[in-house]
Amino acid sequence: MKAAGKAGLLRPPAFSYRPRRDIRPRLSNRAQLFCESVSLERLAERHGTPLYVYSAEMIRARIKAFQRAFRAVPYTLCYSVKANSTLGILRLIARLGAGFDVVSGGELERVLRVKRQAARNVVFSGVGKTVSEMELALKAGILLFNIESPSELRTLAETAARLKRPAQIAVRVNPDVSAETHPYISTGLHEHKFGVPIPEALVLYREAAKYPRLKVAGVSVHIGSQITDLSNFQDALLRVAELVRQLRREGHEIRYVDAGGGLGISYEGLQQQFAEQISAYAEAVLQPLRGLDVHLLLEPGRSIVGAAGVLLTRVLYRKTNNHKRFLIVDAAMNDLLRPSLYRAYHEIVPVSCRSQEKETTDVVGPICETGDFFARERELPVVGEGDLLAILDAGAYGAVLGSNYNTRGKPAEVLVDAGKTRLIRQRESVKDQLRRERL
């Protein structure tokens, strides 16, 4: 059993409890959860639940922390779009000067919709790029293609030749380094589908140099997600550094090292000071690359937006089966899949502090699956039917993994910025879902 976080010690600078003084006596002076200076209860009243709420202040602070940590070297921050691809979030990140890491043509279309000029700082990763996706990226003039197989290299070479467009490439190498994370999000071992073993990569670079429209420009590596042991990054980049030296000895002009993403966050209780975490991460990444004179590409996603978002949900029913307690809420696995998919832990707290009494309960959704849960055997403050809960650290791999299972609409999403709120995604209705179907 794991207990909910203490009031006032949540996710600074974004989420904290504070008194809400309200003209309605029953709410007067009650401690409530706020996003920046905005009451989450007010947002739920206005937009309904389930509801994703994001803090622009936290996203801004975290990107600035990356910028400070890597300011001494040439680098480009390429936000990983798959972590959260909502256009309002992408626009905020683009305005902060970041580039983007995409893994599909659809993600690239989103980036181009937000800022077409951002293409020059886009890295295209992923094992299954189609010809149409390559065409889109070539026409947009992206920075770099991360190649993952000999067949993909040849397909890109043919597509670039047909369109008469240049393509800068890096080979994503598989360094056979364990990320020591959940097996579904570990990508750096030879048993995984990602990347090319380093000996095979050398052959692939030699082949790439023969194609006139391809420009060998870098080396890429990504060993997984939600990594908290920084030595794993260091081990992978030591192998990448040696490969860069070998490639240069063979005459390749290696300008970029793409260090990937994968930096984890704490989902349980208080989080480490982010500036300190990023400083340690920068040292782990940069130490193996010293003296190489390369332009570093970074692909953070979760570490930028994870703690910047919460999912608000309302308690529908309290239920007891024998001695087993359940809180049935209006959010479900189609809204936030991580607990069901990875058995991932998310801290859950009441939006309004009413009681000091605790109970051990499961927090579950209404979908007809036993796997539809957010917490099991969790010690939480006692809440009643109609009360609001906040599922913390839902800004990454939350809304973006949403589905319409059980013909449920996807939640609305709100961005809070300097006391102002903006609806960045409308709630999806059944009518929206049925529009593309035919009888």
Residues classed as catalytic: 368
Distance (Å, whole) CA 326 – CA 318 = 6
Element housing 376 (H / E): strand 373-381
Distance (Å, whole) CA 105 – CA 340 = 28
Tell me whether residue 171 is exposed, middle or buried, using C-beta atoms within 10 angstroms of its C-beta: 0 to 12, 13 to 18, 19 or more. Answer: buried
Tell me whether residue 303 is exposed, middle or buried, using C-beta atoms within 10 angstroms of its C-beta: 0 to 12, 13 to 18, 19 or more. Answer: buried
* CA neighbor of 220 nearest in space, from 201, 206, 203, 235: 201
Distance (Å, whole) CA 202 – CA 246 = 9
Pure H helices in 264-362 = 274-286, 302-305, 338-342
- The residues, ordered by sequence, that sit 6+ positions from 257 with a Cβ below 8 Å of its Cβ are 218, 219, 220, 237, 240, 241, 244, 289, 292, 294, 295, 296, 297
* CA neighbor of 104 nearest in space, from 432, 400, 404: 400
Q: How far is CA 273 from the centre of its chain?
A: 19
Structure tokens at 92: 């905020």
Pure H helices in 227-320 = 231-249, 274-286, 302-305
Residue with tokens 């005459």: 251
- HSE on the CB side for 393, CA within 13 Å? 22
Q: Are 150 and 324 in contact (CB under 8 A)?
A: no
Element housing 298 (H / E): strand 295-298
- HSE on the CB side for 168, CA within 13 Å? 21
216-239: burial string, b at 16+ Cβ within 10 Å, e else: bbbbbbbbbbbbeebebbbbbbeb
Other Cβ atoms closer than 10 A to 74: 11
